[in-house]
A and B are shown apart, each in its own frame.
Chain A
Amino acid sequence: MTNTKDMQWMAAQLRERLPGVVVEVLKPSARSKTEGWTLDANYQDSYVVVQWTRSTGFGISAPRDTDLPFTEDVEYHEGADATLRRVVHLLVTGEGVSPSVTLQELRKRRSVSQEELAKVLRVSQASVSQTEQRDDILVSTLRAVIGALGGRLVVKALFDDGDVEIKVDNKEHVA
């Protein structure tokens, strides 16, 4: 369940919680069968955009005036409540979004179901579900999942004077 009620509820909640906020909700085109909704929220000097589709859930961005097209970071949330809390926080603090995602969020962004991923990995759907819920995960498992989603795993150490890509053995753990 989502879209119409959630986006309109979110807009109402924002107006109630943040007096002075300017909210605009864009409904899907009447001429097409698309389902994506967009919510724009301006509050003081902060600007936050929420976009929703059934496959991706809620994507939140905090575009800056200097951003180039298509380059804005997006973070994904499940559920209108969690999305609203995050949007309020971003509007009040003026912070940017954190584009890091969970494995589950990444899978959804790639429009891959747990069943489809399980088939590629030759494991059960329950195993995929367990992997997505783990706090700690084998690098080899992570590499296999990313590969199955069409990507390539790179592990980097970030230092003030530069980044270093780390060669990791399949048997090592991510701390």
Chain B
Amino acid sequence: MTKVERIVEFLERMIAAPPASSASSAFDLITKTFVAVEEEMVSDDDPMFPPSGDFYYDIEGRDDLLLFRQAGHETIIRVNGAILIRNRKTKAVSLDKPGHDGKKVDL
């Protein structure tokens, strides 16, 4: 499968998954879902790069949010388990998943 096909599968599984209860469980959900997709689906091309703890940054004035950067995208996780994945430049949203209390990442 191509990278695009695999990432679409990843996003569908993320949408279907129960809400995460905390920031750490949200990060675990992303990582486990990503690894499952990469292991289950034969790759036709280059590997993908999920959010990495190495690229974790603060958002000024927002201690309730964690920002993880990939090349062109950013993944923002809220302490309630909400997850927002969007294009850094265009702000186009790929995933906007609420946390356990139904609230989304609010920027």
Contacts and interface: CB of A to CB of B under 8 A. Distances in A.
A63 B54 contact: no
Contacts of A68: 3-4, 7-8, 94
Given A70-B34, A70-B50, A63 B89 contact: yes
A26 B69 contact: yes
A49 B72 CA distance: 7
Interface residues of B, number: 32
A36 interface: yes
Given A28-B56, A29-B56, A30-B58, A70 B69 contact: no
Chief secondary structure at chain B's binding surface: mixed
A35 interface: yes
Contacts of B70: 69-70, 72
A72 B55 contact: no
A167 interface: no
Contacts of B69: 26, 38, 51
A41 to B, nearest CB: 11
Given A51-B71, A63-B89, A64-B72, A70 B7 contact: yes
A164 to B, nearest CB: 14
Contact of B89 (A34, A35, A65): A65
Contact of A32 (B49, B56, B88): B56
Interface centre among B4, B53, B72 (most CB of A within 10 A): B72
Given A68-B4, A70-B34, A74-B49, A49 B71 contact: yes
Contact of A31 (B55, B58, B73, B89): B58
Given A69-B70, A73-B46, A36 B7 contact: no
Interface string A149-161: 0000000000000
Contact of B71 (A29, A36, A63): A63
Interface of B: 3-4, 7-8, 10-11, 34, 46, 48-50, 52-58, 69-73, 75, 85, 87-90, 92, 94-95
19 contacts: A26-B69, A28-B57, A29-B56, A31-B58, A32-B53, A34-B54, A34-B56, A36-B52, A38-B69, A63-B72, A63-B88, A65-B87, A67-B87, A69-B73, A70-B34, A71-B3, A71-B7, A72-B49, A72-B71
